[in-house]
Amino acid sequence: MTLPSFLPLLITGVTGVPGYNAYTYFQAKYPGYVTAIRPIRYWPLKGEGIVPLDIEDNDGLAALMKEKKFNSVLHAAGTCALKSCEKSPELAYQVNVQTVKNVLKMIGSRDIRLIVLSTDLVFPGKLSGSYVEEDVVSPVTVYGKTMVMAEDHVASNFPSAVVFRISLPMGMSVNGHAGAIDWILSRFKKNNTATLYFDEVRSPFYCEDFNRIVERALGNTMKGIYHLGSRRGLSLYQIGQIINKLGGYSPHLLKGCMREEAGPMPPRAGNVTMSCRKLIRALGIDPFRDWPYHDDHVPSKEDWHYDRPKHVVYCPSHIHKYLYRVPATC
């Protein structure tokens, strides 16, 4: 088999949902040619190609580059913990901006393919959503502001890089608590309520589609900022409805409210759905499948998750079958 030119590949941020799912995909497809770094303190995460190395360790990064001679980097490290970022802007800067600077320092003058992940939360939200790459960014959170800083640093110092502004990645997490699906599930599994917003709208996508997009982008010459999210915009409340109903959890555990009712901390964006036409043109294909895949899994009203026909079985295994991944028959 002829190996792609982007190998060997380094993945940062393997403890997050997109990084972890990218690692499992590329490691399975190209065993021995993929390295993922994880924080030293995160000792439970082990596997082929996973190296305990803090991304703040510039000497360690330099030594790893010298040893592995990477041809590409997927930089997926960062924190999207909104409240923590608001409480500690300095920490948010270190995790979301300084890590980008460390990766670029590691790369140096080498001719390396670089993909950096950003977020749809660089936008404040508008009634129609459907943001395009040329729209002015104006984040309402410290998290979004630091991601804009990271985007600007990449554009100024590594213009051949691809920056993907991603929405909500729908896939399994390492610890069972990260990401939209696992955080909501962690509430329902413990019989705790989850309160989610009617008016924060995102563009969730299957990590399987994300992995294919990254692989295709690693192998071409596209550069600059691209939006990455599925066509189906859903509110956080609707996402909670889907997980609640398909998983067979008590419908009373899901609560909804408007953003303004939740208080000022942390601030929340509105409709930040994105148009991905630019990405589709650059890839030459439309890689997106709607999340969730089946139309009958999409809420049609506020109490949709209470409607459970007796002839339909709802159980936690449906989360794995329909929401973590594209259904096997599709």
Radius of gyration for the chain, computed over Cα atoms and rounded to the nearest angstrom? 19
Residue 9, strand partner residues: 34, 72
Listed in sequence order, the residues at least 6 apart from 239 whose beta carbon sits closer than 8 Å to its beta carbon are 168, 180, 184, 196, 202, 204
pLDDT at residue number 44: 83
What one-character-per-residue DSSP string does 260-322 give? GGG-SSS----B--B--HHHHHHHTS-----SSSSGGGS--STTGGG---TTS---THHIIII
Closest to 205 measured CA to CA, from 21, 3, 28: 21
pLDDT at residue number 169: 97
CATH code for the domain in which residue 166 is found: 3.40.50.720
Are residues 268 and 259 in contact, defined by beta-carbon separation less than 8 angstroms?
yes
Kindly state whether residue 253 falls inside one of the protein's structural domains.
no
CA distance 287 to 212: 8
pTM of the model: 0.96
39 upstream amide cis, omega within 30 of 0: no
Kindly state whether residue 294 falls inside one of the protein's structural domains.
no
For the chain, where are the alpha helices, taking DSSP H only? 17-29, 58-68, 82-87, 89-93, 99-107, 142-157, 179-189, 207-218, 236-246, 277-283, 317-318
Question: Strands of 50-52's sheet, edge to edge?
Answer: 50-52, 34-38, 9-12, 72-75, 113-119, 162-166, 224-228
Kindly state whether residue 226 falls inside one of the protein's structural domains.
yes
Kindly state whether residue 131 falls inside one of the protein's structural domains.
yes
Number of other CB atoms surrounding residue 10 within 10 Å: 25
Per the structure, the complete domain to which residue 81 belongs is given by 9-170+205-232+274-283
CA distance 78 to 84: 12
Closest to 203 measured CA to CA, from 141, 121, 301: 121
Kindly state whether residue 161 falls inside one of the protein's structural domains.
yes
Are residues 287 and 229 in contact, defined by beta-carbon separation less than 8 angstroms?
no
Kindly state whether residue 96 falls inside one of the protein's structural domains.
yes
Q: What is the pLDDT along the chain (330 residues), one digit of tens a residue?
A: 789 999 999 999 999 999 999 999 999 999 999 999 999 998 888 899 999 999 999 999 999 999 999 999 999 999 999 999 999 999 999 999 999 999 999 999 999 999 999 999 999 999 999 999 999 999 999 999 999 999 999 999 999 999 999 999 999 998 777 889 999 999 999 999 999 999 999 999 999 999 999 999 999 999 999 999 999 999 999 999 999 999 999 999 999 999 999 878 899 999 999 999 999 999 999 999 999 999 999 999 999 999 999 999 999 999 999 999 999 865
Kindly state whether residue 138 falls inside one of the protein's structural domains.
yes
Listed in sequence order, the residues at least 6 apart from 281 whose beta carbon sits closer than 8 Å to its beta carbon are none
Quote the number of domains for the chain. 1
3-class SS of residue 228: strand
pLDDT at residue number 329: 67
Kindly state whether residue 13 falls inside one of the protein's structural domains.
yes
Residue 164, strand partner residues: 117, 226
pLDDT at residue number 263: 78
CA distance 152 to 265: 26
Are residues 244 and 254 in contact, defined by beta-carbon separation less than 8 angstroms?
yes
Q: Which two tokens stand for residue 112?
A: 């390396």
CA distance 85 to 91: 7
pLDDT at residue number 149: 98
